Each structure stands twice: as structure tokens, then as C-alpha cells.
Amino acid sequence: MSADAARIAAVALAEDGDTDVTTAVTVPPGLEARGIIEFRSGGVLAGAAYADAVAHACDCRIEWRGADGRTATAGELVGVLHGELARILRAERPMLNLLQRAAGIATATRAYVDAVAGTGCRVLHTRKTAPGLRGLDIAAVVAGGGSRHREDLSHELMVKDNHWQAVVRNGRSLAEALADARRRGVAALYVEVESPGQLEQACAAGATRILIDNQTPATLGGWAARARHLSPGVEIEATGGIALDNVRAYAEAGADYVSIGALTHSVRAADLAIEVRV
């Protein structure tokens, strides 16, 4: 069990208080039960490790019928929760909250991954995740077939519009800023650009990836070609305004990656339920 899953499980369970007073006065101790985990809406299963952590904290266990990343049909049984009835009732809602969010993210991600199939373009998450749930959200994107982007501010450099302003205000060059990052041991040097001039500066400074923000696929194609001419091997990421109806156009225009904040900030929860049987 990962430390992150255990942490999130503990927080989720703590939100329900120390005692389930209703269960305490209605359920006899020692009564065994099962909880049938049903994927009512169908979609991509995700969040199993986090559900397992909730189960473990409640002295229960889950018998899964498939791993994260598997597509389930509507109404399919995807797991069985075993334990005492009182403990199952304690685990039920926190477990479903995590599974529904994760499966919703994974299902949305799979739609984008399918939309760019055959192009070589990879789908990325962003840092627009629910506070405290970034590990869950990113794991769900990966379960849906997406790839990892930066998970925090510590390990990759990403120059965006506000950083551009700061560099100009301080009288430094972008090249100096990137050289400073290299001295700090940072290898991933990402620079977001909003104009051809910024694109040329980023390439000259040694950016390893160019993020082309809020441009049309046609503009991205032209800028990507220019960037690869100036800096062979540089990666191209499309960001801003990416949706299911245009993501393939960006991929075919030359994006190596597309980053989509909506995967996690506007997730539509999947419909899962636990049918308890005594």
C-alpha cells in the first residue's frame, strides 16, 4: 500500500467522525457481510489502491475482478468487499467517493487517448487537481492511458507568462534562467510560448520542451516546424483550449503531447455503487 493511499484513506475516514452512531445501535458485532461493487455507468476502472487502503483501515478486504485500466460494461461487478457489516458500512461512502472520482477521470482520459490513437501524441494531466488528491488524480489519468506530467514545482522547470514578465522585469535573459536551473540539477526545461519571438528565445535558451498555449492547430504546426528546425529534438506540447473535438487536429499538426486540465478539474464522477448482502 502506498503512503499516499493510506494518507487519503485516513483523511476520508476521519471526515465521518469517530463513531457511526446509527450502525452502533442497529448492527450486532461480528455479523459478516459482503459488498458487491458495481460499475453502474460503465467506464474505466481506477482508484483500486485507494479503495484497498480504505478497506484495510476498516479491517476489510476487496476481491477485485480486474485491475485499474480495465474497461467495464454498464452494471458490471468489478469487486467484492468482505468483512463485518459494521466495518463495511464504515468504509462504503469514503471508498465510493474515491472510486467514483478516479474512474471518472480515467474514463475521460481514455476518450482523449482513443481520439489521438495512431499519432504518437500522448495525453497529459496538469496540476489542476483536487487539493490533497493529486496522487489519486494522476494515478487515474495513468489508468486511463494518459502519461505523467510534472507533479509538483520542485523537479521540472516550467516558464509561463508570469515568469516571462519577471525575467524581463529583472533584466535577465531566458537563457540565464534556464542555465541557472541546469546548475540546480533540473533536466526538464519547459517553456510556454505565446508568440514566434518567445518561441525563438526558448529554442535558443535550450528549452527541452516548448508549450504552445492557446493557438490553433495550424499555428501550432507552423511553430512546431520552426522549433524543430532551430532545436532538433525539442518536444512540442499543445496546451489551452484542447477538447475532444479538436485534440486529434493538434496531434496531427505535430504535438508530441497535449495537456488537458479538464481531466481533473472538471471531472464527472462515474457511477459506482456497493450493494451490501448479509
Per-residue pLDDT tens digits for 153-198: 999 999 999 999 999 888 889 999 999 999 999 999 999 999 999 9
The percentage of the chain sitting over the pLDDT mark of 90, rounded to a whole number, equals 97
Closest among 109, 38, 31, 44 to 76, alpha carbons compared: 38
Residue 160 is among the residues annotated as catalytic for this protein: yes
- Selecting among 65, 128, 150, 228, the annotated active-site residue is 128
Torsion over CA of 153, 156, 160 and 166, rounded to 10 degrees? 80
- Selecting among 213, 235, 237, 248, the annotated active-site residue is 213
pTM of the predicted model as reported, rounded to 2 decimal places: 0.95
Residue 4 is among the residues annotated as catalytic for this protein: no
- Selecting among 68, 192, 235, 237, the annotated active-site residue is 192
Q: Where do the domains of the chain lie, and which CATH numbers do they carry?
A: 3-113+267-277 (3.90.1170.20), 116-265 (3.20.20.70)
Tell me the three cell numbers of residue 220. 501550432
Cα–Cα distance for residue pair 159/153, rounded to 1 Å: 11
Residue 192 is among the residues annotated as catalytic for this protein: yes
- Selecting among 160, 228, 252, 256, the annotated active-site residue is 160
DSSP string, 40-63: SS-EE---HHHHHHHHHHTT-EEE
- Selecting among 65, 70, 93, 228, the annotated active-site residue is 93
Residue 128 is among the residues annotated as catalytic for this protein: yes
Residue 93 is among the residues annotated as catalytic for this protein: yes
The pLDDT of 46-71, averaged and rounded, is 97
- The answer, yes or no, to whether residue 33 has pLDDT greater than 90, is yes
- 3-class state of residue 128 by DSSP: coil
Per-residue pLDDT tens digits for 124-137: 999 999 999 999 99
Cα–Cα distance for residue pair 122/255, rounded to 1 Å: 9
Residue 1 is predicted with a pLDDT of 66
